[in-house]
Amino acid sequence: MMFRHRFDLPLVEDATGRFLIWIMAVMVYLGIVALAGALVLAGMASRWENGLTGRLTVQISPQPDTPGRGSDPEMVAPLVQRTEVALALLRATPGVLRAEPVTAATTHKLLEPWLGTALLDDLPLPALIDVQVAPGSDPEVPALADRLARSVAGAHLDNHAAWLDDLRRLARTVQLVALAVVVLVGTAALVAVVFAVRTGLAIHSPVVELLHIMGASDRYVARQFQAHVVGLALRGGMVGLALGLATLGLLDRATGEAAAGMLPVMALPPPQWLALPAVPLVAAALAAVTARWTVLRVLAALP
């Protein structure tokens, strides 16, 4: 047995405490999955931010029909020519480090899996320019976007800001939901601890009285319950940890197989894996504090 502790109270023989193992297992399981999710999302958001901010994409549509500009497809310069104009403009802009067209071959390769080769050949594809700006020059982006749109028909500058904002909002929402779940389950688990301890005190009141008569302090009695609850919580926590890690492992493999290369950011960096075993420890510590507080409060109310 991992916890060979000699209890003065025959708590181990109670069935009341046994369901604590299960509620603790559920709490730790959800805590682990939620924590892993929150960590993965936080990591993903920061990687997207670092990877994409400083990068811009200019997209030039083959057949611009911007209303209000009175443009007629016949009167617009060919795509290749407009791309050259846009490239020149970009390269002349201070703060732009690099501006390279994405070759048609690359575009085709990106789209092929979705559209197939037959369709792609006939499809009028936009020209793409990959732009790298000096870090910190983001404030000038709106001006650049405006200038591009006026100089080159059909040109559109995408700085991914809106997309990143959405991602950040998503990450934050998921984190809040995870936190809410953990707080709810945690509260339920701690209420269960209070209930189990109160039941234990009631069932064993003759023994508790005996211990007091023999000179036990309230804290001595509290330690008995505390040690018992920690034992149950850790046992439940191990079950929750094992199930949680198994779930994460399965998810990791599933994402790895289904979208190799596309979702490499889903993986949790190694140092953060170390945070997961802390979940059952934190849960056990909270359970211990709750048990202690409950016992002391109940006993203090005795004459």
Partner 1 sequence: MIRFDNIGLRYGSGPEVLSRVNFTLKPGSFHFLTGASGAGKSSLLRLMYLGLRPTSGTITLFGRDVATLKRADLPALRRQMGVVFQDFRLLDHLSALDNVALPLRMAGTAEAEIREHVVELLEWVGLGAHLEAKPPTLSGGQQQRVAIARSVINRPRLLLADEPTGNVDDSIGMRLLYLFEELNKLGTTVMIATHNEGLISRFPHPRLHLDRGTLTVIPAEASVAAAMTAVASGLPAVLAGSLTGGGWPP
Q: Which is nearer to partner 1, 68 or 206 (CB)?
A: 206
Q: Which is nearer to partner 1, 190 or 218 (CB)?
A: 218
Burial category of 78 from C-beta neighbours within 10 Å (exposed 0-12, middle 13-18, buried 19 and up): exposed
Type of residue numbered 98: R
**Count of alpha carbons within 13 Å of 25, Cβ hemisphere only?**
13
Binding of partner 1 by 210 (CB under 8 A): yes
* Other Cβ atoms within 10 Å of 56 Cβ, number: 24
Binding of partner 1 by 214 (CB under 8 A): yes
As measured in angstroms, the least distance from the Cβ of 8 to partner 1 is 6
Binding of partner 1 by 1 (CB under 8 A): no
How many residues of this chain interact with partner 1, rule: CB under 8 A? 22
As measured in angstroms, the least distance from the Cβ of 299 to partner 1 is 8
Judged by DSSP in three states, 99 sits in strand
Q: Which of 5, 10, 199, 246 binds partner 1 (CB under 8 A)?
A: 10
As measured in angstroms, the least distance from the Cβ of 258 to partner 1 is 54
Judged by DSSP in three states, 163 sits in helix
Q: Which of 2, 4, 6, 257 binds partner 1 (CB under 8 A)?
A: 6
Q: Among all chains, which residue has been given the structure tokens 């047995």?
A: 1
Rounded Cα gap, residues 127 and 221, in angstroms = 76
Q: Which of 1, 2, 4, 13 binds partner 1 (CB under 8 A)?
A: 13
Rounded Cα gap, residues 230 and 219, in angstroms = 16
Binding of partner 1 by 212 (CB under 8 A): yes
Q: Which is nearer to partner 1, 218 or 244 (CB)?
A: 218
Which part of the chain contacts partner 1 (CB under 8 A), choosing from 83-91, 189-197, 212-220, 285-293? 212-220
Binding of partner 1 by 138 (CB under 8 A): no
* Other Cβ atoms within 10 Å of 161 Cβ, number: 14
Which part of the chain contacts partner 1 (CB under 8 A), choosing from 10-18, 32-40, 104-112, 133-141? 10-18
Instruction: Spell out where the chain has E strands.
Output: 55-60, 96-102, 127-133, 155-158
Rounded Cα gap, residues 120 and 122, in angstroms = 5
Interface with partner 1 (CB under 8 A): 6-8, 10, 12-13, 206-207, 209-218, 220, 300, 302-303
